[in-house]
Amino acid sequence: MCNFRWFGLFIFFLVAGVLLAYGQDADQGKSLGDVARDSRAQSRESRAQESAGQNQLATQLYRLLTTAKQESAQQRWDDAARDLHTVIEQSNPCTDTNWEWSKAHTQLASNEYSQGHRDRALAIIEEKTNKWAQCSGQATADEVTIVQERAVFERIVNDDKNAEVDFLKVIAIREKTGAGAKSYPADLLLLTDVYERQELYRDIIALLTPRMSGAATSEHDSYGTWARLWQALGEAHQKLGQYEQAEKAYNTAMGLTAPERSLLADMASLYHAMGKEAEAQKVEASLNAMPSSTPQIRPYPPPPPRK
């Protein structure tokens, strides 16, 4: 009888222990679930705060850039430099503030150039290019990238002579090595723009004519750049009164892109010059039927007037 009572007590405590353990596990599971939910909520809140912080920073940087641009226009070089360096220090080429970072470097270099410090300006551009490369894991940028960025900057500040030299150097390197083949037509277009604003139409023809063969099926034309180049070639021929060559170039451009306002306007102008009024009216009808918001085929605005 005694053994039976001891056995009963043993069973009681055993069951109680199991129930207690189960309850603790259940409480623990509930606690873990709460922790998980709290963690997710905190994560969402953290991301929201981070996004708001980035937007606030971008706004501050943009205001500084705007102020620096005004100071530069007033030739308050020291004030502009201070604000631009602040933008550079607070932004990062490898994050969401890379646009502000790049813009500050370009403005800083432009200011140095405007003060006659060309070497300093180019040093800033090279430093910027190398830091861009470091975002991709490279120690420094390759030669063709450095020269290209320099040429783009020279184009921005209307240093057409040096821009021409550097763009030709970039094009030669790409043609010899194939480096950066996707950028090749864009380099041609930028150099074409440098020639165009100087009205060097024969130089445009000499640059583009030997390089346009096979362009219609180029695998590196995802942005329609070859169409823009054909249009530029047509414009150069038209300016020189070479109407048949211009018509051929325009038609080739039309075959590479959807109808664009500037291209249709060029074709209408050409047909009027050739005395083909019926063709001109047909093109003008297509042009007038297009919405005014239709993008232009030429991606670059006209340069500012020279002083």
Render pLDDT for 246-288 as a digit per residue (tens, 0 to 9). Answer: 999 999 998 888 778 899 999 999 999 999 999 999 999 998 8
What pTM value is reported for the model? 0.73
Instruction: Phi first, then psi: give them for residue 16, nearest 5 degrees.
Output: -60, -40
Q: What's the rounded Cα separation, in Å, for the pair 215 and 201?
A: 20
Tell whether 225 is covered by a domain.
no
- 17 found inside a domain: no
Cβ 126 vs Cβ 135: under 8 Å: no
Q: How confident is the model at residue 18 (pLDDT cuts 50, 70, 90)?
A: very low
pLDDT digits (tens, 9 = 90+) for 168-193: 999 999 999 888 788 899 999 999 99
* Cα distances (Å, whole numbers) of residue 86 to 3, 81, 100, 124: 87, 8, 11, 15
28, part of any domain: no
Rg over alpha carbons for the chain, rounded to the nearest Å, is 32
Tell me whether residue 264 is in a domain.
Answer: no
Residue-wise pLDDT for 21-73, tens only, equals 444 444 444 444 454 455 555 555 555 555 555 688 889 999 999 999 999 99
CB 283 within 8 A of CB 274: no
What is residue 174's predicted lDDT score, i.e. its pLDDT?
Answer: 92
Q: Give me the CATH number covering residue 136.
A: 1.25.40
Give the per-residue pLDDT at 276: 94
- Whether 33 is in a domain gets the answer no
Residue 8 pLDDT grade (very low, low, confident, very high; cuts 50, 70, 90)? low
The pLDDT tens digits of the residues spanning 105-131 come to 999 999 999 999 999 999 999 999 999
Query: Is residue 255 a contact partner of residue 232, using CB atoms and an 8 Å limit?
Result: no
- Beta-carbon neighbour count of residue 181 at 10 Å? 13
CA distance 243 to 229: 17
Q: How many CB atoms lie within 10 A of CB 148?
A: 25
The whole-number pLDDT of residue 190 equals 96
Residue 306: the pLDDT is 38
DSSP 64-107: HHHHHHHHHHTT-HHHHHHHHHHHHHH--TTSTTHHHHHHHHHH
- Is residue 269 one of the residues assigned to a domain? no
pLDDT at 304 over 90: no
Number of domains observed in the structure of the chain: 1
Give 191-222 pLDDT, tens digit per residue. Answer: 999 999 999 999 999 999 999 876 655 555 55
Question: Residue 8, exposed/middle/buried by CB under 10 A (0-12, 13-18, 19+)?
Answer: exposed
Residue 58 is predicted with a pLDDT of: 86
Give the pLDDT of residue 120.
Answer: 96
Let me know if residue 228 belongs to a domain. no
Domain assignment present for residue 79? The answer is yes
User: What string of DSSP letters covers 202-246?
Assistant: HHHHHHHGGG-TTGGG-TT-TT-HHHHHHHHHHHHHHHTT-HHHH
What is the structure's pLDDT at 117? Answer: 96
8 Å CB contact between 228 and 298: yes
Domain range for 70 is 60-91+98-141
